[in-house]
Amino acid sequence: MPAPKKTTRRSLLVTSAVLSSLALASPAAVAAPKPSGSPSASPSASPSVTPPASMSTMGGARLGRPGTQVNLASGVPVLPKDVSARSWIVADAETGDVLAAHNAHWRLAPASTLKMLFADTLLPKFPRTEKHKVVPSDLAGIGAGSSMVGIKEDETYTVHDLWLGVFLRSGNDAVHVLSAMNQGVENTVKEMNQHAEELQALDTHVVSPDGYDAEGQVSSAYDLTLFARSGLQKKDFREYCSTVSAKFPGQTKKGKKGKTVRESFEIQNTNRLLAGDADLPVYQGIAGVKNGNTTNAGATFTGVAERDGKVLLVTVMNPEKPEHNEVYKETARLFDWGFKAAGKVQPVGELVPPRSARASEPGANPSGEAGGSGDGGNGTAGTGSKPVASAAGDGSSGIGTALGIAGGVLVLLAGGAFLVNRRWPLPDLVRRRTRP
């Protein structure tokens, strides 16, 4: 593949991950209740235009309440009033503190944000250099109108190529090929559901690994944020979700003198806070993660960004406003609020650790249930609501990676797991800055 382009460079500043621990006391992490109705009762989304009166209290009791939850107090900025999403959450990516949320556990159609769970489940299974020749059965069952990266039958792709297709173009064809390598879609769905349970993402039920609308397929802003936080512990996940553009293999054709030539074409990340758009600048500090859009889900997005040493995760699901790029605009407003409020606002809950981490703590209950109210304080809101340069052969462009991995060494706490309410470092997460 050609060497990376040298156009539109952005500077990357890498800082070390914060390794210090917080106090062991944590808000309640109560298991999610069973859905009030069968997941198959509606096409992958709640049949109601309003959230259920009772939702999961995983991460704290406040997170199970409908409406906006935030502890407004002196010095805490007011939440933006122009956020129309059905559900959203603002959380500290390292501590797990939920700074504010709106219908955090509302089970809704996730669209391609579900690919974060797909990636977190399958990424460890295949070396990026492994090659796979695509056969027709690999591409069977892809939904009509799916987003595609352009995989062709009888062509050979590396696992690295396929993951670029998943993250940058949200390619359902790439998802299906990787699923075929993983003993098929049915097995992949089973493993994704098992991994969701391990992460205590109990609002989630996977039917289609690519996030395509399917009967009974649901997730929540809370769960999508758990998937992002877990995925960001993986070096490859951080690389792929932060890559802005890359070269992707095309078809093999006969060139001059009968020699075969493998063409390539450029793909760009559809995450508009990372790549920018005509009406939307690149968000300062953005470093991933994943967007989605389907008929049932509307627009969905989970992003991670850093400013002044603080790393936040924001998930937004299905804004009601019809404006172009609205899901990104609302995410940006919630990021802005979160960076102003961080260190000032008292959390309303927490992002819980995986079951294995909780089980490894002496005396912990592996079920994820805990006592206490989990309120995180009083009051509710009003209703307003060694940087790694890409190798020349991998095709990632100069604007193509918001990645900063200086060795990417994870600190293993408590024998390979982190303790409840301790920091979960995001190793050398890129500190993205745009030039004036």
Q: Which residues pair with 406 in a beta bridge?
A: none
Q: DSSP strand E in 344-389: where?
A: 349-350
pLDDT on residue 101:
98
Does some domain include residue 16?
yes
Does some domain include residue 243?
yes
Tokens in use for 7? 């156009």
How far is residue 355 from each of residues 30, 67, 250, 313, measured CA to CA in Å?
12, 28, 42, 21
Spatial neighbors of 436 by CB under 8 A, at least 6 apart, are none
CATH number at residue 387: 3.40.710.10
Residue 320, SS3? coil
Widest distance between CA atoms in the chain? 76
Does some domain include residue 3?
no
Q: How far apart are CA 34 and CA 110, in angstroms?
A: 19
pLDDT on residue 360:
55
Does some domain include residue 4?
no
**Block mean pLDDT (10 aa), the chain, length 436:** 36 28 32 37 54 95 97 95 96 96 98 98 97 97 95 97 98 98 98 98 98 96 98 95 96 82 94 95 95 96 94 97 96 98 97 82 44 34 30 37 30 29 53 40
Does some domain include residue 146?
yes
pLDDT on residue 358:
64
pLDDT on residue 164:
98
Residue ranges of alpha helices (H) inside 69-150 are: 115-122
pLDDT on residue 428:
58
pLDDT on residue 254:
82
Which residue range(s) make up the domain with 126?
12-432
Q: How far apart are CA 275 and CA 180, in angstroms?
A: 30
DSSP 332: H
φ, ψ of residue 100 in degrees (nearest 5): -165, 160
Does some domain include residue 2?
no
Look at the chain and report how many structural domains it folds into. Answer: 1
Q: Which helix (H) or strand (E) holds 337?
A: helix 326-341
Q: How far apart are CA 253 and CA 259, in angstroms?
A: 8
pLDDT on residue 259:
85
pTM equals: 0.78
Does some domain include residue 79?
yes
Does some domain include residue 7?
no
Residue 335, SS3? helix
Q: Exposed (0-12), middle (13-18) or buried (19+): which is 354, by Cβ within 10 Å?
A: buried
Q: How far apart are CA 404 and CA 218, in angstroms?
A: 33
